[in-house]
Structure 1
Amino acid sequence: MSTTKAPTIAAIVPCYNEALSVAKVVNDLRNAVPGIQVYVYDNNSSDGTADIAREAGAIVRHEYMRGKGNVVRRAFADVDADIYVLIDGDDTYDADSLPAMIEALQSGPFDHVLGVRREQTTSAYRPGHELGNRGFNWFVSRVFGSEVSDMLSGYRVFSRRFVKSFPALSREFEIETELTVHAMSLRVPQVEVPVKFRDRPAGSESKLRTYHDGFRILGLIMGLIRHELPLMFYGVIGFALALLGVGIGIPVIIEFFGTGLVERFPTALLSVGIVLLAVLAWAIGLILDGVLKSRREISRLNYLSHTPPPTQA
């Protein structure tokens, strides 16, 4: 009689000065999913976060390069499991939602389960964060052609093959955006699950900086568009340059047909130069689009080389 081995589940908890909340997060995770391995990655905390997490029963590791993206890259490389959980250490996410997220991953099976935040208090979101998140959700959904409701959520569940095929290039809080776009570009099966979202513990402060991190995320999105949709990116640039070049050149052309002369020769050269830049942009887009197809084929093969997510018995 054969028995089905229970999947190993690892929770990755990035922490920076979370002494007020990390013990509760660790305990809540272990109570919500018995047998889960909780890895707390201390990111240069100065308040004893690592010691408190260790006392609570977590496996404590350190990432000395500052930034959540650096923590995720290190953890995804080091931790070996069948199912991965990513959750912030600030106790704003409800661990009781985790069994439903894991069940959703296994029921598909899916490779990515996104925890969509549902506020439990009116002050859970900082001013400007919710509006910015909605704007990013709309923009990324339109550009990449796949709907997302909360791309900046820090609460997610992954399969092994998602984690081991994810490059993790971001350094800081842009990592959530990179995770979302990776799932979209690779077209992995994914699903969203609503999760409770609450205020941080009294006395703790968010590490997010609304405008600074917002511009970093926007910059990352534009970089990902250039990287993942080069034909569109360079096509738009080429179209804009072509319009500019033709707009500058029209008076010269009209003058030539009227007089047979080109008196504004520098203007004519400028117009031709801008149009040539437009053609060059289109050519770059076509070349990079071909490179992208090859790169995606390699990424897909790498993704398929890993174990698929465990299904429910």
Structure 2
Amino acid sequence: MKSFNTWNLTNNQLHELFKDKNKFISIRVRGNTWEPITRWLRLDSRIFKETTNRPRITLCDIESLAEIYNYRSIRWKAKKLTPLPTKLISKKLKNIFRKLPLIKHLAYELEITFYKYIENYSEQLISIIIPARNEEGNRELFIEALNKFKQISNNIEIIFVEGNSIDNTYSLLEELKANFSDSFKIFLLKQSGKGKKNAVVEGCNISSGETMAIVDSDFTVDIDDSIAAIIESKKNENILINCSRTTFPMEKNAMRWANYIGNRCFAIFISILINKPISDSLCGTKVFSRKFFNLMKKNGSWDSKSDPFGDFTIIFEAAKNNIKILNYPVRYYARKSGAPNISRWVDGLKLLKVCLLYLVSDI
């Protein structure tokens, strides 16, 4: 995607960028600190003469104009930190500096990307992937969720991925498949690998829907909120709905204190890295389009084994591939049965490693 420099555009050229109905537009502007300085150095300012030679366009100006033409911003990032040559500085080091909070706001050039918002009204197929391990005790929650999925007007396929449970989860899923096969097309897989990320990958790989939703089988996220998120996400293929459990007060014992603190720290760290606010970095309920799924498959990130849950990969790759990330507040409850299938400290270190890999990348 070509990036246009605003300081070289005429009034007509700027408007034509948005009138051409491109799906994506990438535009560069001078940073707010450098914009007046560059004009003063060229003596191209009303301070020195009655009129100027070049336009004075800021990030806010571009965002306002884009909204008029029904373009929505995805995010902005620091593209060039200084007008001085930086060839002697390694690319990885420059990538780190471009993400640092104070430095990126003082950058010489900023780049912002927009997408054309077109609402989709078609009744496309929706795939709901539900990884399940040791969830036999949540039988009633499964039944409630499947009954509520009937509220969705679109055709739905349910993909259960059973993770080699030590209880009777597989038998429960077989029963559910038989009882609800008249309402949905249901697939039941036995996971060939280990871990939630692998279960999600195997489920998504056989899905057919244009909209894809990942729903955790403990159903600690309110099922009505999950359904609402799915319904909203199908309106546009260029969004990722990242459900957030930390917006409203959660039920007592829903999330252990250390997990909550870790989640908030990761959310802040990721928000800095992608320059886009993330309120909950580890909510398992996410909804995205097949377009985004295919992009991850194509660049190999989808099959990466570095991320134990897949949540960070989805968020980082959305930012990297110009997918708009939207936080969707949901209600969060304590588990009714079973225990979390995570290793807090070991998995936390793996997640930190994922963040560091993206820290040095050109995201």
Match of 1:14 among 131, 155, 158: 131
**1:158 corresponds to 2:278:** no
Match of 2:162 among 42, 45, 48: 42
Which residue number corresponds to residue 178 of structure 1? 313
Match of 1:210 among 344, 348, 354: 344
Please state how far the C-alpha of 1:152 moved relative to its aligned partner. 0.7
Which residue number corresponds to residue 171 of structure 2? 51
Sort the Cα spacing of 1:16 and 1:197 in 2 relative to 1 into closer, same or farther, 3 A. same
Alpha carbons 1:97, 1:195 under 8 Å: kept: yes
Residue by residue, what CA displacement relative to the aligned partner does 1:11-66 show, whole Å, maximum 9, x if unpaired? 10111111112562354144234453221101111212122012123521121211
Cα distance in 1, alignment partners of residues 339 and 347 from structure 2: 15
Q: Which amino acid aligns with 1:221?
A: C
Cα distance in 2, alignment partners of residues 224 and 74 from structure 1: 24
Alpha carbons 1:29, 1:36 under 8 Å: kept: no
Provide the secondary structure at the position in 2 that maps to 1:56. helix
Residue by residue, what CA displacement relative to the aligned partner does 1:259-305 show, whole Å, maximum 9, x if unpaired? xxxxxxxxxxxxxxxxxxxxxxxxxxxxxxxxxxxxxxxxxxxxxxx
Cα distance in 2, alignment partners of residues 224 and 119 from structure 1: 31
Cα distance in 2, alignment partners of residues 209 and 96 from structure 1: 28
Which residue number corresponds to residue 335 of structure 2? 200
Match of 2:325 among 164, 187, 190: 190
Cα distance in 2, alignment partners of residues 55 and 171 from structure 1: 34
Cα distance in 2, alignment partners of residues 31 and 136 from structure 1: 32
Cα distance in 1, alignment partners of residues 123 and 333 from structure 2: 32
Cα distance in 2, alignment partners of residues 108 and 172 from structure 1: 27
Q: Which amino acid aligns with 1:183?
A: A
Q: Identical aligned pairs, as a percentage?
A: 21
Which residue number corresponds to residue 274 of structure 2? 144
Q: Which amino acid aligns with 2:290?
A: R
Match of 2:265 among 114, 125, 135: 135
Q: What root-mean-square deviation, in Å, do the aligned CA atoms of Structure 1 and Structure 2 show? A: 2.1
Match of 1:64 among 189, 192, 195: 192
- Greater share of strand: 2
Segments ≥4 residues shifted beyond 6 Å: none
Q: Which amino acid aligns with 2:216?
A: D
Match of 1:25 among 142, 150, 155: 142
Alpha carbons 2:138, 2:218 under 8 Å: kept: yes
Bigger relative CO (Cα 8 Å, ≥ 6 apart): 1
Which residue number corresponds to residue 240 of structure 2? 112
Cα distance in 1, alignment partners of residues 130 and 199 from structure 2: 9
Please state how far the C-alpha of 1:99 moved relative to its aligned partner. 3.3
Higher alpha-carbon Rg: 1
Match of 2:230 among 102, 111, 125: 102
Cα distance in 1, alignment partners of residues 343 and 232 from structure 2: 32
- Greater share of helix: 1
Please state how far the C-alpha of 1:111 moved relative to its aligned partner. 2.7
**1:83 corresponds to 2:218:** no
Which residue number corresponds to residue 236 of structure 1? none
Cα distance in 1, alignment partners of residues 131 and 143 from structure 2: 12
